[in-house]
């Protein structure tokens, strides 16, 4: 039970970071100068390295704890047991079932993206005032852009299952609260998944749009 709680807590910590990160990146679409000021101010904060340590622990701990939980569940059910199936009916349920089955694959896509993203923008951090230029340079490669878009879609699928799973592990999914929690979780999955899917494309297209408008 405690391990399940830590899976949920680590996942929720990452979701909180992603929501804040999405808000910061979205600023680049409407006010590039404000985005550069935001990025420069953030990187100067004394608490940032501590937050990064916590995030690193969550990034490493979440998949490892989840994998250990899956193996323990399979061992408990036995070798002949098939995958668990939901009896709920509704328009979201086929997609939710697909998201649950695809958890290992969506997690793998996110891990691959994280390695690339850190290599591009964190391990060789851009100088002050050049953050947006570095982001656009990273997205200039079609393969890199494709991975960013795939990671956004994978995040949405991952959260579609993970939100409800976290609520269940924390003991919040009671009959009275289940509908509202599921709706909130699916809304969050849609918001973050669509945001991280569309913003990289928008950042690539925006200079071309501005150049066309200026011409």
CATH number of the CATH domain containing 48: 1.20.1300.10
**Quick one: pLDDT at residue 176?**
83
- The reply to whether 86 falls in a domain is no
Beta carbons of 158 and 107 less than 8 angstroms apart: yes
Taking only the tens place, the pLDDT of each residue in 98-107 is 888 888 888 8
In angstroms, rounded to a whole number, what is the distance separating the alpha carbons of residues 190 and 81? 32
pLDDT for the residue 94: 76
What gap in Å lies between CA 213 and CA 56, rounded to an integer? Answer: 42
Q: Is residue 51 within a helix (H) or strand (E), and if so which, with residue range?
A: helix 48-77
**DSSP 3-state of 138:** helix
Confirm whether 205 is domain-assigned. Answer: yes
DSSP for 55-91, please give it: HHHHHHHHHHHHHHHHHHHHHHH-TT---------ST
Q: Which two tokens stand for residue 170?
A: 């924390």
For the stretch 137-147, pLDDT in tens is 889 889 999 99
Rounded Cα gap, residues 146 and 154, in angstroms: 12
Look at residue 84 and tell me if it is in a domain.
Answer: no
Residue of 178, 154, 176, 175 lying closest to 164 (CA atoms)? 178
Domain count, the chain: 1
Residue 192 lies in a domain: yes
The candidate with the shortest Cα–Cα distance to 192, out of 12, 19, 8, is 19
Provide the residue range defining the domain that includes 71: 2-77+92-214
Q: Is the pLDDT of residue 8 over 90?
A: no
Identify whether 69 is part of a domain.
Answer: yes
Tell me the pLDDT tens digit for each residue of 25-68: 999 988 899 999 988 888 888 898 898 899 899 888 888 888 88
First-to-last alpha carbon distance for the chain, in angstroms, is 62
pLDDT at 194 over 60: yes
Q: How far apart are CA 110 and CA 151, in angstroms?
A: 5
Residue 213 banded pLDDT, cuts 50, 70, 90: very low
Q: Does residue 166 fall inside a structural domain?
A: yes
**What is the number of other CB atoms lying within 10 angstroms of the CB of residue 120?**
18
pLDDT of 168 strictly over 50: yes
Is 130 part of any domain? yes
Query: For residue 87, is it within any domain?
Result: no
């Amino acid at each position: 039970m405690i391990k399940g709680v830590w899976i949920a807590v680590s996942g929720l910590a990452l979701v909180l970071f992603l929501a804040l990160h999405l808000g910061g990146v979205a600023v680049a679409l409407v006010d590039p100068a404000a985005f550069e000021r935001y990025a420069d101010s953030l990187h100067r904060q004394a608490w940032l390295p501590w937050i990064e340590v916590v995030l690193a622990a969550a990034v490493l701990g979440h998949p490892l704890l989840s994998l250990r939980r899956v193996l323990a569940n399979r061992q408990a059910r036995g070798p002949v047991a098939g995958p668990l199936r939901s009896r709920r009916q509704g328009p979201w349920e086929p997609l939710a079932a697909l998201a649950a089955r695809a958890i290992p694959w969506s997690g793998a896509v996110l891990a691959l993206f994280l390695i690339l993203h850190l290599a591009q923008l964190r391990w060789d951090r851009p100088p002050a005032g050049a953050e947006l230029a570095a982001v656009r340079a990273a997205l200039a490669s079609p393969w890199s852009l494709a991975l960013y878009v795939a990671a956004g879609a994978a995040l949405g699928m991952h959260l579609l299952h993970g939100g409800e799973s976290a609520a269940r592990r924390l003991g919040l999914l009671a009959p009275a609260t289940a509908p509202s929690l599921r709706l909130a979780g699916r809304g969050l999955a849609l918001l973050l998944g669509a945001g991280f899917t569309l913003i990289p494309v928008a950042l690539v297209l925006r200079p071309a749009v501005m150049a066309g408008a200026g011409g």
